[in-house]
Copies of this chain bind each other. A is one copy, B any other.
Amino acid sequence: MIGGGQLARMMIPAAIELGVDLRVLAEAEGMSAALAADRVGDYTDVETVLAFAREVDVITFDHEHVPQAVLRALVDAGVPVHPGPEPLAVAQDKILMRERLSELGLPVPDWARVETPAELDAFIADHGGAAVVKTPRGGYDGKGVRVVRSAAEVSEWFATIAEGGLAGALLVEELVDFRRELAQLVARRPSGEIAAWPVVETLQVGGVCSEVIAPAPHSAGKVADVSADIAFAVAEGLGVTGVLAVELFETTDDRVLVNELAMRPHNSGHWSMDGSTTGQFEQHLRAVLDLPLGGTGTHADWSVMVNILGGPAEGTLAARYPSALAGHPTVKIHNYGKDPRPGRKVGHVTAVGDDLDDVVYEARAAAAVFQD
């Protein structure tokens, strides 16, 4: 696995139980997945990644930032890479993503590639006076995304383009009038088998995932079916292998539109570690090793995951365990082994049960113990 963050960390337990020898190429010493960090090195350096790849059977990722040149070098060297360079290119470039989804006939917000402020202002004028502008590359957790009423509000991005940056363009999208955000996770094997978890509802705060309810309330039937159909079409249409997360808008006029794609285990799937027969990390391993996928049924009617964002102002998460564990004995705590820092994802909690109000309350209350 390339990348040593919390996604790599949470892969370790699944690898241990399946008896898979997981090795991680970490960005630095002491990262979340340090226990499995076989080596530390720069994932943008071809030789570093090739040397790492020579010691493993399959390469996968805890992020989508490995450059195409490195991915192509791996493939040229005969290394199985999952997901492969083609689907990852789509995850790496939001404009390419919109193009490919549109070609596949999948429902997306109105969008355009804009190179100039005039083009952006024209799009805004055509779409009710506001729009969402995104840098094509490098955005995450709300970074590189801005809601604007005028091209002047992203003038520095156009300045960067004028200097030859940002791949020469921005993505602009209609401001979708959505009722809520959903996420549909699936896993797909190279040989084609695909499995879906129930569609979930995600709550974002400041562009960062805060809370996930699985399954999404009132989703049984049409919303679930449409969401799964979309994710299957994306996975098959783009040839994604491993876990794919499709972030969706449920609009106020009852449409389901694709917002973003992630080709790896995803925050919106953490609930599955405690709430599903097969957690997303185990399923990702099974998928990238081309092993039969596991059942995606749930342990109870509801699972609610709440992120621990930032953590305590002083001290460690563990210092709060006596209070958190005593008050919430059925909540599962996941500690990423990171130092607390404002806004940083340092852990999450999951509650599982049959009464949604209770489950939401338990998860939120347990997470709150770790925040000031």
Which residues of A are interface residues toward B (Cβ below 8 A)?
A: 9-10, 12-13, 16-20, 35-36, 277-278, 286, 291-295, 297, 299-300, 317-318, 321-322, 325-326, 329-330, 332-337, 347, 352
Contact = CB atoms under 8 A, between A and B. Distances in A.
Contact of A326 (B13, B292, B322): B292
Contacts of A13: 12-13, 16-17
Given A291-B322, A347-B19, A299 B297 contact: no
Tell me the interface secondary structure of chain A in the complex.
mixed
Contacts of A9: 16
A36 B36 CA distance: 9
Contacts of A335: 17-19
Contacts of A18: 318, 321, 333, 335
B329 A293 contact: yes
Closest 10 CB pairs of A and B: A19-B335, A13-B13, A292-B326, A292-B325, A295-B330, A299-B299, A295-B329, A17-B334, A277-B330, A19-B337
Contacts of A16: 9-10, 12-13, 35
A332 B299 contact: no
Contacts of A337: 19
A317 to B, nearest CB: 6
A20 B318 CA distance: 9
Number of identical monomers bound together in the oligomeric complex = 2
A258 B278 CA distance: 37
A235 B69 CA distance: 60
A176 B299 CA distance: 39
Contacts of A300: 299
A329 B333 CA distance: 26
A349 to B, nearest CB: 11
A330 B283 CA distance: 12
A300 B317 CA distance: 31
A130 to B, nearest CB: 42
A294 B35 contact: no
A322 B191 CA distance: 12
* Residue from the set A329, A330, A337 with the largest chain B CB neighbour count within 10 Å: A329
A325 B286 CA distance: 9
A278 B330 CA distance: 8
A336 B16 CA distance: 8
A333 B326 CA distance: 31
Nearest to A294: B329
A321 B17 CA distance: 13
A92 B278 CA distance: 39
A286 B325 CA distance: 9
A299 B330 CA distance: 11
A271 B123 CA distance: 58
B329 A292 contact: yes
6 contacts: A18-B318, A35-B35, A35-B36, A286-B325, A293-B325, A299-B300
A41 to B, nearest CB: 20
A19 B336 contact: yes
A322 to B, nearest CB: 6
A296 B17 CA distance: 21
A12 B17 CA distance: 10
Contacts of A12: 12-13, 16, 35
Contact of A330 (B10, B297, B317): B297
A318 B19 contact: yes
Contacts of A299: 299-300
A224 B291 CA distance: 40
Nearest to A275: B299
Nearest to A346: B19
